[in-house]
Amino acid sequence: MKQYYYLEGNQQLGPFTLEELRSKPLKPDTKVWTQGLPDWVAAQTVPEINEWLSRPQAPPVYPVQPPTPNPPTYQPFQESYTPNQPLSAGLGNRPKTWLVESILVTLFCCLPFGIAGIVNASNVETRYSNGDFAGAQRASDEAAKWTKVSFFVSIGFWVLYLAAIFIGILSGVSNSFF
Amino acid sequence: MAGLYFWFDPARVSFFPPCPFRFLTGLDCPGCGSQRCLHKLMHGNLRQAYHHNPLLVASLPYVLTGLVLEYTPLRKSQAGFHQRFYGKTASLIVLGIVLIYWIGRNLV
């Protein structure tokens, strides 16, 4: 008899026989595993489970959620999931938005790069609240990148400027001496 | 660094670099005047600081609050407020203000 396991959140449940599994609240995208599978897969991709998953259940064991009208809200999370990392890996705190740092470089570094930081700061929350944790992290990294680019470019500009003045002074001095 | 801005007035001394954006385009950027503004601020002269860069002075309360929220234990205890303070709405408002200010100061 084949033994089946499934994931609820990041908790592994099982083993169950195929018959026992029928009474469990499985959805087509619930991750399941059984002997012979290399990794956790969506329930609908296992033929013997999908067979009764796709059939409407007479009295539903639990209220089946109506299909969400806006699937992209949870799709990105599915994309970012890889079986080797715990399911809750992306569920941490919202990544840093770098908003204040972006404002500071906008005001002090005299370079419009800070604007890019602010735009990315707003993307962090947009993506985070859509469940796109990987995307939120990317936006956070972008924001961090732009604040740093702005910061170091202006430091570089400062150094160049001082160097130019220094050379100017030197040549001025040498001109007056020779 | 802070000493430089305290002791020397960027409006009179030439070793403070000009804004690269202004240098290249001749237009003001949102940060133009910040060095002079900082000098005046350090001397407690709010009115003249405001004259050099109004946005910098206006954003001070927000920036200071933001830094305190981010780098003190308040971050944990006021997590909800921190969330909104750094949230999407806040970012978009800031973006709007900066862009309007940027365009506006070149028109006036």
Higher-confidence residue of A175 and A72: namely: A175
- Residues in chain A with CB shorter than 8 Å from the CB of B20 are 110-111, 153-154, 157
The order of strands in the sheet holding A41-42 is A11-16, A4-8, A31-34, A41-42
Average pLDDT over residues A71-82: 47
Q: What is the pLDDT of residue A61?
A: 55
Q: What is the pLDDT of residue A73?
A: 46
| Residue of chain A whose alpha carbon sits nearest to that of B63 | A100
pLDDT tens-digit profile of A47-62?
888 887 776 555 545 5
Query: Does A91 have pLDDT greater than 80?
Result: no
d(CA B6, CA B13): 12
Read off the pLDDT band of A4 (50, 70, 90). confident
Q: Which residue from B17, B55, B62 is facing A157, i.e. has the nearest CB?
A: B17
Q: What is the ipTM of this complex?
A: 0.80
Q: Backbone phi, then psi, for A3, in 5-degree steps? A: -105, 135
d(CA A141, CA A136): 9
| Residue of chain A whose alpha carbon sits nearest to that of B15 | A162
Mutant choice from B91, B95, B100 vs A, greatest count of A C-beta within 10 A: B91
> For residue B79, is it within any domain?
yes
Q: Do A162 and B15 touch (CB under 8 A)?
A: yes
Tokens of residue B91, six digits: 């970012």
> For residue B77, is it within any domain?
yes
> For residue B18, is it within any domain?
no
Which residues fall within 8 angstroms of residue B1, CB to CB, at 6 or more apart?
A: none
Query: What range defines the domain where residue B77 resides?
Result: 2-12+27-107
Interface of B with A (CB under 8 A): 14-15, 17-22, 29-32, 34, 38, 53, 55-56, 59, 62-63, 66-67, 70, 83, 86-88, 90-92, 94-95, 98-99
Q: Do A99 and B92 touch (CB under 8 A)?
A: no
Q: What is the pLDDT of residue A85?
A: 42
Number of domains in chain B: 1
Query: Does A88 have pLDDT greater than 70?
Result: no
The tens place of each residue's pLDDT in chain B, 108 residues long, gives: 778 888 888 888 777 887 878 888 888 888 888 888 989 988 888 899 999 999 999 999 999 998 888 888 888 888 888 888 888 888 899 999 999 998 998 887
pLDDT tens-digit profile of A19-76?
888 888 888 888 888 887 777 888 888 888 888 777 655 554 555 555 555 544 444 4
> For residue B42, is it within any domain?
yes
> For residue B22, is it within any domain?
no
- Residues in chain B with CB shorter than 8 Å from the CB of A112 are 21, 29-30
Say how many CA atoms lie within 13 Å of B59 toward its Cβ. Answer: 29
Average pLDDT over residues A92-110: 80
CB B46 within 8 A of CB B60: no
> For residue B19, is it within any domain?
no
Which residues fall within 8 angstroms of residue A58, CB to CB, at 6 or more apart?
A: none
> For residue B89, is it within any domain?
yes
Closest Cα to residue A5, out of A28, A35, A29, A27?
A35
Interface of A with B (CB under 8 A): 94, 96-97, 99-100, 103-104, 106-112, 114-115, 118-119, 121-122, 124-126, 129, 153-154, 157-158, 161-162, 165
Q: What is the pLDDT of residue B27?
A: 86
Q: Which residue from B21, B31, B95 is facing A108, i.e. has the nearest CB?
A: B31
Closest Cα to residue A94, out of A122, A63, A136?
A136
Average pLDDT over residues A91-111: 78
Query: Does A173 have pLDDT greater than 70?
Result: no
Q: What is the pLDDT of residue B57?
A: 92
* DSSP H helical ranges for chain A: 18-22, 47-53, 75-80, 99-108, 113-129, 133-177
> For residue B17, is it within any domain?
no
CB A11 within 8 A of CB A22: no
Largest Cα–Cα separation, chain B: 46
Q: Do A111 and B31 touch (CB under 8 A)?
A: yes
SS3 A133: helix
Q: What is the pLDDT of residue A27?
A: 82
